[in-house]
């Protein structure tokens, strides 16, 4: 079950309103055309709003139509109704666009736009790009939906992307995202054989699983949220194999805990790695109280470099290519590190993000 919201918008040369046509004249034309699809409508309420006007209509089936006039000739129409799972749409996208085109023609409007019906209900289908554009995914099932002490964890099924991990309502990784893990680890460009590796985060298990294919000496993965691993172990085996089930093998170990605490321990013990991966969520979660997000990110970087061998590498995901400001800020943090570091970037189109994503490879500057 879901509520369907069908949204249209139009604009009219502002001088025509009041002069040639009243708002009520326009509503009358809208009403007549809507009635071709919905049968008789009645106006249940109308009101003036600042320089605007809003009119609410209804049919006999609980569909509510809101026609609103804004400044500068902008008019929006919302058509909203309850749709049970097997009900058909009360107006198809094709009909919505027909309606739009007839209205534009009949009223000689400047623009018309119609959106495919938005489905509002427990099966969440909309996620944002890095620059906050809306993307509708072909999600048809919610497989897992729990809240851990750290975050909200969902696994949903997408027809084209397979199972998808959603953390705090943001798309994290999907079964179709091998390219994400391969670009993060620079598959084919880095040699992991015999290397010692530390993963900060990485709860979906995909990075650990891919790294183990390359014969490393040892990989330790520090993940705070056991429930993420439980969920991925159940629903994401095509990307994580059995590493989240076994948790420990000859050359790897998953430690459930705050990576900051463990890194501090490694620093104290003088433990060093060939590679450290920053595979944490975009918005950091930690037991350790921290200040601003950028302070936290810089702390991660500082501590990671404190446990890296002189020729070691720190590898991490950045942000969407659509967010150059955010990428610049990250690079500003890199420039603040002492000893100095240098970095390279790589880009990949990540299927479940529906956009290009930037990945960083960072080494000490004197390397």
Kind of pairing between the strands at 52-58 and 64-69: antiparallel
Q: Which contiguous run of DSSP H or E holds residue 43?
A: strand 42-49
Positions annotated as catalytic residues are 279
Residues 274-333, interacting with a second copy (CB under 8 A): 321-322
Neighbours of 19 (CB within 10 A): 9
Binding residues among 69-128 for a second copy as defined by CB under 8 A? 70-72, 74, 76, 78, 80, 82, 93, 97, 110-111, 113-118, 120-122, 124-126, 128
Residue 148 interacting with a second copy (CB under 8 A): no
Write down the least CB distance from residue 232 to a second copy, Å: 21
| C-beta of 19 vs 132, nearer to a second copy | 132
Number of residues that bind a second copy (CB under 8 A): 65
> How far is it, in rounded angstroms, from Cα 99 to Cα 239?
45
13 binds a second copy per the rule CB under 8 A: no
Please state whether the peptide bond connecting residue 115 to the residue before it is cis, i.e. omega within 30 degrees of 0.
no
Q: Shortest Cβ distance from residue 68 to a second copy (Å)?
A: 7
Rounded to a whole number of angstroms, the minimum distance from the CB of residue 36 to a second copy is 20
Stretch in the footprint of a second copy (CB under 8 A) among 24-32, 56-64, 243-251, 325-333: 56-64
3-state secondary structure of 314: strand
Q: Which is nearer to a second copy, 40 or 268 (CB)?
A: 40
CB of 168 to a second copy, least distance (A): 8
Nearest CA-CA partner of 90 in 39, 139, 32: 39
Terminal alpha carbon distance of the chain: 58
Q: Which is nearer to a second copy, 20 or 169 (CB)?
A: 169
Cβ closest to a second copy, residue 92 vs residue 186: 92
H helix and E strand count, the chain: 10, 21
Exposure string of 293-331, with b = 16+ CB inside 10 Å and e = fewer, is eeebbbbbbebbbebbeeebbbbbbbbbbebeebbeebe
Q: Counting beta carbons within 10 angstroms of the beta carbon of residue 228, is it exposed (0 to 12), middle (13 to 18) or buried (19 or more)?
A: buried
For residue 107, the number of C-alpha atoms closer than 13 Å in the C-beta half-sphere is 31
Helix ranges, the chain (H) = 23-38, 93-107, 178-184, 206-212, 226-235, 237-240, 243-246, 259-269, 293-306, 324-336
Question: Pick from 20, 22, 36, 44: which binds a second copy (CB under 8 A)?
Answer: 44
- From 42-50, 211-219, 266-274, 333-341, give the range in contact with a second copy by CB under 8 A: 42-50
Binding residues for a second copy, rule: CB under 8 A, are: 1-3, 5, 7, 9, 11, 44-45, 47, 49-50, 52, 54, 56, 58, 61-62, 64, 66, 68, 70-72, 74, 76, 78, 80, 82, 93, 97, 110-111, 113-118, 120-122, 124-126, 128-129, 131-138, 145, 159-160, 169, 321-322, 349, 354-356
């Amino acid at each position: 079950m879901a509520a369907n919201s069908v949204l249209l918008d139009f604009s009219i040369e502002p001088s025509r309103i009041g002069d040639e046509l009243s708002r009520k004249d326009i509503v009358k034309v809208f009403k007549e055309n809507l009635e071709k699809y919905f049968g008789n409508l009645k106006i249940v309420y109308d009101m003036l709003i600042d320089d605007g006007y809003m009119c609410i209509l209804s049919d006999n089936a609980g569909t509510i139509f809101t026609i609103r006039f804004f400044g500068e000739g902008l008019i929006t129409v919302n058509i909203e109704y309850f749709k049970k799972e097997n009900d058909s749409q009360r107006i198809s996208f094709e009909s919505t666009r027909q309606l739009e085109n007839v209205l534009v023609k009949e009223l000689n409007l400047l623009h018309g736009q119609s959106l495919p019906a938005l489905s509002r209900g427990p099966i969440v289908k909309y996620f944002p790009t890095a620059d906050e554009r809306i993307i509708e995914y072909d999600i048809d099932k919610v497989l897992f939906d729990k809240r851990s002490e750290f975050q909200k964890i969902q696994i949903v099924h997408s027809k084209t992307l397979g199972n998808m991990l959603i953390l705090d309502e943001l798309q994290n990784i999907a079964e179709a995202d091998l390219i994400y893990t391969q670009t993060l680890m620079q598959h084919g460009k880095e040699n992991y054989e015999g290397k010692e590796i530390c993963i900060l985060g990485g709860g979906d298990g995909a990075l650990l699983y891919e790294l183990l294919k390359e014969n490393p000496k040892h990989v330790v993965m520090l993940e705070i949220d056991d429930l993420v691993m439980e969920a991925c172990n159940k629903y994401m085996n095509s990307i994580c194999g059995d590493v989240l089930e076994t948790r420990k093998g000859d050359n790897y170990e998953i430690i459930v805990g705050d990576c900051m605490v463990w890194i501090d321990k490694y620093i104290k013990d003088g433990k060093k790695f060939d590679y450290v991966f920053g595979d944490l969520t975009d918005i950091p979660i930690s037991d350790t109280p921290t200040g601003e997000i950028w302070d936290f990110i810089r702390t991660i970087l500082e501590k990671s470099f404190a446990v890296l061998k002189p020729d070691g590498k720190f590898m991490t995901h950045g942000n969407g290519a659509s967010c150059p400001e955010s990428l610049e800020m990250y690079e500003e943090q890199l420039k603040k590190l002492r000893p100095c570091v240098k970095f390279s970037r790589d880009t990949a189109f990540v299927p479940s993000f529906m956009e290009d994503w930037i990945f960083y490879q960072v080494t000490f500057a004197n390397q």
